[in-house]
Amino acid sequence: MYDKDLEFIDTLSMRAMVRRLIRAGVRFVKKEKPWEHVSMGPDVEIGAGTIIWPGIVLLGNTKIGEGCEIEEGVRLEDVDVGDSSIIRTGSRISQTRIGKECVIWGARMYNAVIKNKVVIHSGNRIVWSTIGTGSDIDSSCNIKYAYIASYCKIGPKAIIEGEKFDEEILAQGKRSVHIGRSCRIGAQTHIHDRALIKTGAELAHCEIVRSVIGAGTKAKHCSYIGDVIMGCGCNVGAGTVFGNYDGEAKYVCEVEDGS
C-alpha cells in the first residue's frame, strides 16, 4: 500500500470522496456510512452506475469504468477496469488492464492484459500474460508469460507457462508461449517453454514443450510432444510419446499436414 493511500484512508477526505462518488452516480451497497467500509486511495476513479460492495481495497491509479460491480473482499492496485465488468469476491489484482464486459471470479493477477468479454473463473493465477477477447479460462489454471488469443477455451487446472524473460523484455510484449485463436485447451494440459499452438488446435491431458502445433491439429489423452514441428490437421493418438533424446543430444521431429 502506498503511504499516501494509507494517509488518505485515515483522514476525513475519505468521507468527502465517497460522498462525491455517490453524487456522481456510484452505488455503495453499504448505505449507512459507506466510507467506513471501503478503503480507497486519492487517485482512484469510479464511473457512474458502478456498484461497490463493502470490504474492498482500491489503491494507486485504479480506474473503474461505468456500470461495473466490485464485490466484497476485492483488492485492486493500479488496475484499469473497463465498462460493465464484474470483479467477484476474493480477487487480488495489480498492475493489470481489464477490458469491457469481463467477469473475474476470485482470481490472482499481476501485470496482465485482459481483453473484452473475457471470463476468468475462480482459483486462477495469471502473471505477465495476455488473454484475448471472448476467451474463457476455467478454474485453477496457472498462466505465466503467455499470450492467449481470442475466443480460446482453457480447461481446469491447465498450466501454460512460458520462459521468464527480464521484465523489460516482457514489457515489450515478448512471450515464448503463444496460443492461437479459437483453440481448445483441455483439463490438466501442460504447455511450457517455447510452444506455438496455431488456430483451432485442440489439446487435452497432454504436455507440449518447445513445439509447434499446426492449425486444427488434435492431441489428447496423455500424449507427450517435445521438440516437434507438427503440421495442420494432424491427430495424435492416446499415449503417444515423441522421444527425441538419445542420451547425448535432442532432435526435432517433423510431422507433415494431415498425419
Q: Which residue has the cell 515464448?
A: 176
- For the chain, the straight-line distance linking the first and the last C-alpha, in angstroms and rounded, comes to 55
Are 195 and 164 in contact by the 8 Å Cβ rule? The answer is: no
pLDDT tens, position by position, 120-141: 999 999 999 999 999 999 999 9
Per the annotation, the verdict on 205 as an active-site residue is no
Rounded to an integer, what distance in angstroms lies between the CA atom of residue 234 and that of residue 237?
A: 10
Tens of each residue's pLDDT in the chain, 259 residues: 555 555 555 566 788 888 899 999 999 998 888 878 888 888 999 999 999 999 999 999 999 999 999 999 999 999 999 999 999 999 999 999 999 999 999 999 999 999 999 999 999 999 999 999 999 999 999 999 999 999 999 999 999 999 888 877 777 778 889 999 999 999 999 999 899 999 999 999 999 999 999 999 999 888 999 999 999 999 999 999 997 877 888 889 999 999 9
**If we measure between CA atoms, which residue out of 69, 64, 94, 70 comes closest to residue 82?**
64
Q: How many CB atoms lie within 10 A of CB 255?
A: 19
Annotated catalytic residue, options 37, 178, 205, 221: 221
Task: Show the cell assigned to 191.
Answer: 504447455
Q: What pTM does this model have?
A: 0.91
Q: Write down the mean pLDDT value for the chain.
A: 91
CA torsion angle 178 183 189 194 (round to 10): -20
